[in-house]
Amino acid sequence: MLTVFPSSLPAGWLCRIVLVALISLPLTMPTAKAVEANASGAASAAKRSPAAVAIPAVKLKAESPSAVEHAQTSSPAPAIKFRAAVAPADKNKTQTQCHGRRDQIFVAHEDDDLLFMNPDIHDTIRAGGCVQVVYLTAGERGEGVGYMSQRENGVRAAYALMAGAANTWVPSALLVNKVQIAQYSLWKNPRVSLVFMRIRDPWLDKGWGDLTPLSRLDIQPEQRAQSLGDYFETYSRDSLVKTLSALILRFEPGKIRLMDDSVETPYSKLCWRCVGHDHPDHIASARLVRDAMAITTGNYEAVSYVNYPNQERPLTLTLRQLSEKSRIFNLYAQYDYRYCSVPLNCKEPLGPAALWAERMYYAGQSDAPVAPFYTGATGLNLFARGEYSDAVVYWNDSQQRWTVLGGLVFTSVKPFADPAGRPAVFARDGQGQLYFRHATSRVPNGPASWTAWYRLPLLLTTQPQVLAGKRQIEAVALGADGYYYHLRSSDMLIWRKTRLPVLKTASQTFAYLANGTQQFVLAQTLKGEFELSARDEKGGWSPWRPVNGPDGQGGLTALIMDHNTLLAYYRNRPDGRLYLATGTLGGTSQKPTLNWTSIEDEGPEFQGAPALLKTAAGQLVVATMSRTGKSIWTQIDAAEQRIKGPFASVPALVETAEGVMLYARKAGDNRWIQQYAALRLNGSQWQDAATVIAPPFYGGHSFDGSTDIPEQEQAQQQLQQQQQQQQQQQQQQQQQQPSGNSQPAQERPVPGLPVQSGNLLERLGQ
């Protein structure tokens, strides 16, 4: 049985929050001049009223009596203009200037993105990114083209508001996989486009469950689904998946945002407002998109969102985010009579929509490994993402307790030791924005002994791989623009960012290694080939040099042994099995070489990437999770052993004073019980240790309000200005002090003093 932990928000606060959001909502229609006026910039979009004008109601075809009646009796909704031209947003990537953000969003209905994925979508548009939203169904609920068109008008108005542009759109037809699909691009901002597949979406019977064409198409291969409107198409499950794949290939996204496919309740047993349940179309759309991604090569990252069940969880958004999200949804609701029968008096979001608007949660990723962190001073800590809360959490083994560090993350986190030896952690939000937080001492005691979150000016599609030294911290990650980046800092305040040489087929699969004063990045390209780049302390990164031999398909983990010997474990492309390539490093930092001496088949098919550890005694330990999750395969100095499961995540290895430990998330009937199995290596055998209990179900909150870490040049200028101001203040104080009295020296100001971000509940309590 799933235990729901409700928010501790006092009664009456919800009404106050909604009231705060609604105060800023425009309840009157702007003039016609407001429609034609182009917004001055996306940054001020949230402060503007919707660009719309009252016009006579749209005439609807007599397919739905209720829709026709609504059109004749309700107040008019704002107008939308169309331009007779073809300017799709994804025709010219360089002209549209996506600023490193290229999001493709797949949802079932025309309100799903606004309720469950904002403010992430709004943040992308505000930052000048490219956004393409694909609506799989017509969302007409059996009421025909009229209601479908009104809902489409609503999302067009909402996206024009988010973009800060006039509500004028360019219609066109996409031809993908021999299928024609309607597309609309925003006239004043072609980076924003909406794609309507318009699959019919009536309820096929009374009740809930598998009673929609899309959900039946997902589970019944013989089923067919037809589209509505101008472009009539008939889809089988296979043809729909291929069409979705073709859309992904055409748009080439950096992020794919989709609904939640992790709901385990069968379609036939789903019910409205039941704990943990969701709409069947939400689940089906996500599963179909996942299948499309599985057959689509690309350098993109998937971000999925909790839908109906997010109302069961604590609040995560700030008041500013809630106000903006509510205003955007309110404009959509003015076009949808099921929300607002009288647009001029629309007070949405109300009821369930208000609960969804207050929150945004990422769907759980049970396959993400826990991240161990061990030093002699701090002992053993296990860092993870709370799958229910989306917060960064860590388990202290000596204290036997979890500490919540907050944030709102959608994937695993990366702990490391900062140059002062204090624990620190990298985390990313749904934008790929990189954040870090570090302890104020080597042995932190609870969240109060940590700094606030800092935001680095870098968007990533991978978690950084870190090399922590006594003088500085260094990391490499793949940026959202497709380039690898090298980060380094000696004080955690000023960071130096270097872009590695261009690798045209760069992928998210790479290894960052050190060998003495030399550093290496071994990258596996999208084609499965291996490339090598190197640097030393005095020089930059070398051009990429091909390393012929292995044919990989993800799952890369590498380690440099003694005498320049490199071990690379990877997934072999032809058969999906674990392979080991052994090679010798040579050459110089500007012309590195890696000559493979052997390539061996190690045996098992596996998930994720293998865990690899070289102990202080020189012992080599390898661990992978089987493809089915039923067991973990380990190898200790070539001796193989299997650990029975089932397991939900790939394993993690760490060496402590007590020996080598292995941790893996347990699989169970309740997926929210995030427990970790622990095993200790005794000789060559694994022995059970105490299970790590589940982390708290609370603590996730938006990163909104975190402190920005500026670029290196900007940071240096700020520091110089602060030092000059400090000197001037000291001179003034010395002049004011009587002679013979000394003034104590002031501490040097720290650039970027952190601002405690806090979650919504904490802010309301202040």
Q: 3-class secondary structure for 469-519?
A: CCCCEEEEEEECCCCEEEEEECCCCCCEEEECCCCCCCCCEEEEEEECCEE
Q: What percent of the chain has pLDDT over 90?
A: 68
Going from the C-alpha of 149 to that of each of 59, 166, 508, 667, the distances in angstroms are: 11, 19, 40, 44
Count CB-CB contacts under 10 A for residue 8.
10
Local structure of residue 46 (DSSP, 8 states)? G
Contact 700, 729 (CB under 8 A): no
Please give the average per-residue pLDDT across 200-214, as a whole number.
Answer: 82
Residue 688 confidence (pLDDT): 94
Report the range of poorest mean pLDDT among 206-210, 341-345, 475-479, 694-698. 206-210
Cis? peptide before 646, omega within 30° of 0: yes
Range with the poorest average pLDDT among 110-119, 293-302, 667-676: 667-676
Please tell me the predicted confidence (pLDDT) of residue 13.
40
Whether residue 166 is predicted with pLDDT greater than 70 in this model: the reply is yes
Q: What is the pLDDT of residues 88-99, one digit of tens each?
A: 444 334 434 898
What is the structure's pLDDT at 199? 97
Assigned token pair, 736: 């004011």
Q: Rounded to two decimals, what is the model's pTM?
A: 0.82
First to last CA, the chain: 35
3-state secondary structure 85-103: CCCCCCCCHHHHCCCCCEE
**What integer pLDDT is reported at residue 537 of this predicted model?**
80
Is the alpha carbon torsion for 68, 74, 75, 80 positive or negative? negative
Which residue matches tokens 């990366």?
414
Quote the pLDDT of residue 272.
84
Which amino acid would we find at residue 275? V
Per-residue pLDDT tens over the stretch 26-36: 333 333 333 23
Output the pLDDT for position 638: 84
- For range 735-741, the mean pLDDT: 51
Percent pLDDT > 70 in the chain is 81
Question: Which residues, in sequence order, are CB contacts of 79 under 8 Å at separation 6+?
Answer: 35, 52, 53, 54, 55, 167
User: In the CATH hierarchy, which top-level class contains the domain 13-357?
Assistant: alpha beta
- pLDDT, tens only, 479-491: 999 999 999 999 9
Q: Does the pLDDT value for residue 5 go beyond 80?
A: no
DSSP string, 414-442: EEEE-TTS-EEEEEE-TT-EEEEEEBSSS
For residue 510, name the pLDDT band (cuts at 50, 70, 90): very high
> Does the structure show a pLDDT above 80 at 328?
yes
Neighbours of 744 (CB within 10 A): 5
Q: What is the pLDDT of residue 668?
A: 81
> Where in the chain are the domains?
13-357, 510-602, 615-695, 707-765
CA 722 to chain centre: 36
Mean pLDDT, the chain, integer: 83
The span from the CA of 114 to the CA of 120, in Å, is 10
Tell me the HSE value of 688 on the side-chain side, using a 13 A CA sphere: 7
